[in-house]
A and B are shown apart, each in its own frame.
Chain A
Amino acid sequence: MDAVEILFTASLWAAAIRIASPLIFATLGELICERAGVLNLGIEGIMTVGAFSGWLTVYMGGSLWLGILAAAVAGSAFGLLHALLVVPLGLSQHVTGIGITLLASSLSYYVYRLVFPEVTSPPKIEPFQPWNVPVLSDIPVIGEALFRQTPLTYLAFAAVLLVSWFLYRTPMGLAVRTVGENPSAVEAQGIDVTWVRIAAVMAGSALMGIGGSFLTLSAFNSFFFDMVNGRGWICIALVVFGSWRPGKALLGALLFGLFDAYQLRLQQLAGGYVPYQVFLMLPFVLSIIALIVMSRRAAYPRALMVPYRKGER
């Protein structure tokens, strides 16, 4: 099989969607935070905490869906902490975010070691199994790629629609968007900027937690150290790439997934000629290139990273 033929295999496209799924959740999460004017660099740690708490819940006997819920709750708890520090207190969003990432991931590792002091191979759970959509999954290639995924992947696509509808079709979505663009206008309408921002960061962080839990509950079946491995930072790049719009962010995540799935297959093809590290580097290089290309057109939410103090202009 050569490099072009790979492009027409269903397994490539199925893998692309699988790789994109956690990124879709977390990118939507970051997008909501940033639309409300808050940069959330806690994303990497919040994904770790989601991966861990979701997995631990299932390991302790909870159902897989309870695991998802645990990941969302744990994620939004750290989101609340981030929001409290940067919204009412107005602390640096960069520094606080890095602090949240360090705290959330180290807490996950600490509790992991507390529960499993002496395990050499990570304990396993029974993860989500692919669920074939009746009829649709029988379509050649497309059906195999799109409709034989795990329920969490379908949920990721549903989340895109839900977040779009929320942001553009509901009064609360309008409040979130305006809070990130022109907070004093929202305040004039009698809506409290602080509470809208806190709620947005909590909701976004819940999505990041779910994105993390995809790794332990759907992609793999155990929790291990450094498993998020930069995915959070890539999601931040994807938000910029998607110009802060859910649909474009989905497209970005899918492109990224496709590229990642493709490089994995090329790696097997070109094994021996090109060092495997080059392929592993490509997703990160690609993210930077995407940032450079998009930055010319980037329409940042105007109040992104600007703390709001009532009565100040």
Chain B
Amino acid sequence: MVGNPMRLEPREQRSLAVILGYPLVALAVAAAFCAILVMFSGANPLSVFGLMVKGALGTQFAFLETLTRATPLIFTGLAAAVAFRAKLWNIGGEAQLYAGAVMTVVFGTGLLPLPWPVLIPVLMVAAMLGGAIMLSIPTFLKTRFGVDEVVTTLLINFIAILFVSMLLEGVLKDPMGLGWPQSKKVIADAQLGKLVQGKRLHFGFVIALLAALAIWVIDRRSALGYEMRAVGHNPKAAAFAGIPVNRVLAKTALLSGGLAGLAGYSEVAGLKGNLTLDLSPGFGYTGIVVAMLAMLHPLGVVAAAIFVAAVFVGADAMSRTAGVPSYIAHVMVAASLLCMVTAVMLTRYRLRWR
């Protein structure tokens, strides 16, 4: 018989060096893996990484671009973090983002001719509702019928994007769009202002920061935050302690879906102006990575989102000059995720070899 050569032993105390060191080692391992891949392209990994850092943070333009890219990721990252805390496996951020975007263009392209101080909050609530409803369906199926929400949220992503495609070729199609599947632009009062004159960074970034702060407060200071963590930790024990597990999951779904819906609002009203089928290049899925890199901490999500956005923006800039395919960014983000979850495990447990 071949024995399992290793076992895990809980660490009694975790030194600061372990808590900070392991995640850093994880990111270094992911970077080393990507360096090897870069070498296959014939480029020098160090100069490629240098170009990526420069392209993401090197100039004011680059840095603002990184923050612009980080904005939707903060929302979808928070959405994933909130849900995962309660062990509600919401993989449907993509669908919820598009639901928020659809609500934004339905109400924001002239249907509600309100001044901006009223219209913007109304649209934000509408977008949150869109995302919240989108996640409430699989959550209801989970609590009522015991259908695994991972599969349903994943499948709904595909349904949602096809639904948006149908709307953009149907009722939401811009008659002035020269036949392209795109919606009308949102009216000026619905738009979020730019943070820096003449640059792309918009007020959505500030909303994202406020959202992170709000989630942190809910998580730490409210009964709901406590209940969500209790349900995530052990639903049976939570139920035994009198916590209404299904109701907590429903509230979690509203919060998580709402956050992802806000990402849709912020992208349409702050950046793109209208809804197209390429509004999100996988922000919903990347949000999961962001949440895990942040170890589900709401404020950590902000840092993780900026890091992931920097990798993407840097890789785009680098691939234009160095000729390494920009898909290296996706590889790096995925590798970081796997290394990070391993590292976090190793901060809690010690590997023992026999």
Do these two chains interact?
A: yes
Interface of A toward B, CB cutoff 8 Å? 41, 81, 85, 88-92, 94-96, 98-100, 102-103, 105-107, 109-110, 113-114, 117, 190-195, 229-230, 233-234, 236-237, 240, 275, 277-278, 280-281, 284-285, 287-288, 291-292, 295-296, 298, 309-310
Question: Which residue of chain B is the closest to A287 with respect to CB atoms?
Answer: B155
Interface 0/1 of B158-179, CB less than 8 Å to A: 1100110110011000000000
Q: Does B234 contact A (CB under 8 A)?
A: no
Question: Which residue of chain B is the closest to A41 with respect to CB atoms?
Answer: B150
**Is B337 in contact with A275, judged by CB distance below 8 angstroms?**
no
Query: Which chain B residues lie closer than 8 Å to A81 at the CB level?
Result: 338
**Is B338 in contact with A100, judged by CB distance below 8 angstroms?**
yes
Take A234-B155, A284-B155 as given contacts and tell me if A96 and B145 are in contact as well, using a CB distance cutoff of 8 Å. Answer: no
A5→B152 CA distance, assembly (Å): 33
A288→B6 CA distance, assembly (Å): 40
A225→B328 CA distance, assembly (Å): 15
A106→B3 CA distance, assembly (Å): 35
**Is A192 in contact with B3, judged by CB distance below 8 angstroms?**
yes
Q: Does B342 contact A (CB under 8 A)?
A: yes
List B291-346 residues whose CB lies under 8 Å from chain A: 292, 323, 325, 327-328, 330-331, 333-335, 337-338, 341-342, 345
Neighbour of B2 across the interface among A192, A229, A237, A288, CB < 8 A: A192
**Is A292 in contact with B147, judged by CB distance below 8 angstroms?**
yes
List B1-43 residues whose CB lies under 8 Å from chain A: 1-4, 6-8, 37, 40-41
Q: Does B120 contact A (CB under 8 A)?
A: no
**Is B89 in contact with A94, judged by CB distance below 8 angstroms?**
yes
Query: Which chain A residues lie closer than 8 Å to B154 at the CB level?
Result: 230, 233, 236
A284→B162 CA distance, assembly (Å): 10
Take A98-B91, A295-B145 as given contacts and tell me if A194 and B338 are in contact as well, using a CB distance cutoff of 8 Å. Answer: no
**Is B159 in contact with A281, judged by CB distance below 8 angstroms?**
yes
Query: Which chain A residues lie closer than 8 Å to B155 at the CB level?
Result: 230, 233-234, 237, 284, 287-288
**Is B331 in contact with A107, judged by CB distance below 8 angstroms?**
yes
Take A94-B150, A102-B334, A295-B146 as given contacts and tell me if A285 and B342 are in contact as well, using a CB distance cutoff of 8 Å. Answer: no
**Is A106 in contact with B334, judged by CB distance below 8 angstroms?**
yes
List B162-198 residues whose CB lies under 8 Å from chain A: 162-163, 165-166, 169-170
**Is A106 in contact with B330, judged by CB distance below 8 angstroms?**
yes
Neighbour of B341 across the interface among A99, A109, A194, CB < 8 A: A99
Q: Does B285 contact A (CB under 8 A)?
A: yes
Q: 7 more A-B contacts (CB under 8 A) besides A90-B345, A240-B151, A277-B169?
A: A81-B338, A91-B341, A95-B337, A102-B330, A237-B155, A280-B162, A284-B159
A267 to chain B, nearest CB (A): 13
Interface of B toward A, CB cutoff 8 Å? 1-4, 6-8, 37, 40-41, 84, 89, 91, 141, 145-148, 150-152, 154-156, 158-159, 162-163, 165-166, 169-170, 285, 288-289, 292, 323, 325, 327-328, 330-331, 333-335, 337-338, 341-342, 345
Neighbour of A96 across the interface among B89, B166, B341, CB < 8 A: B341
A91 to chain B, nearest CB (A): 5
Take A110-B330, A192-B4, A194-B4 as given contacts and tell me if A89 and B345 are in contact as well, using a CB distance cutoff of 8 Å. Answer: yes
Query: Which chain B residues lie closer than 8 Å to A102 at the CB level?
Result: 285, 289, 330, 333-334, 337
**Is B338 in contact with A99, judged by CB distance below 8 angstroms?**
yes
What are 7 of the A-B contact pairs (CB < 8 Å)? A117-B325, A192-B1, A230-B154, A233-B155, A277-B162, A288-B147, A309-B8
**Is B338 in contact with A103, judged by CB distance below 8 angstroms?**
yes
**Is A190 in contact with B1, judged by CB distance below 8 angstroms?**
yes
Take A90-B345, A91-B342 as given contacts and tell me if A240 and B148 are in contact as well, using a CB distance cutoff of 8 Å. Answer: yes
Query: Which chain B residues lie closer than 8 Å to A194 at the CB level?
Result: 4
Take A102-B330, A107-B331, A110-B37 as given contacts and tell me if A195 and B338 are in contact as well, using a CB distance cutoff of 8 Å. Answer: no
A90→B328 CA distance, assembly (Å): 28
**Is B152 in contact with A103, judged by CB distance below 8 angstroms?**
no
**Is B288 in contact with A89, judged by CB distance below 8 angstroms?**
no
**Is A117 in contact with B166, judged by CB distance below 8 angstroms?**
no
**Is A277 in contact with B166, judged by CB distance below 8 angstroms?**
yes
Neighbour of A191 across the interface among B1, B6, B147, B323, CB < 8 A: B1
Chain A CB count within 10 A is highest, among B7, B40, B148, B341, for B148
The list of the 3 closest CB pairs from A to B, nearest first, reads A106-B330, A113-B325, A102-B334
**Is B152 in contact with A109, judged by CB distance below 8 angstroms?**
no
Query: Which chain A residues lie closer than 8 Å to B158 at the CB level?
Result: 229-230, 233, 281, 284
**Is A291 in contact with B151, judged by CB distance below 8 angstroms?**
yes
Take A41-B150, A95-B341, A114-B325 as given contacts and tell me if A89 and B159 are in contact as well, using a CB distance cutoff of 8 Å. Answer: no
**Is B170 in contact with A275, judged by CB distance below 8 angstroms?**
yes
Take A109-B327, A110-B37, A191-B1 as given contacts and tell me if A298 and B8 are in contact as well, using a CB distance cutoff of 8 Å. Answer: no
A98→B2 CA distance, assembly (Å): 30
Query: Which chain A residues lie closer than 8 Å to B145 at the CB level?
Result: 292, 295-296
Question: Which residue of chain B is the closest to A275 with respect to CB atoms?
Answer: B166
B143 to chain A, nearest CB (A): 12
A99→B336 CA distance, assembly (Å): 9
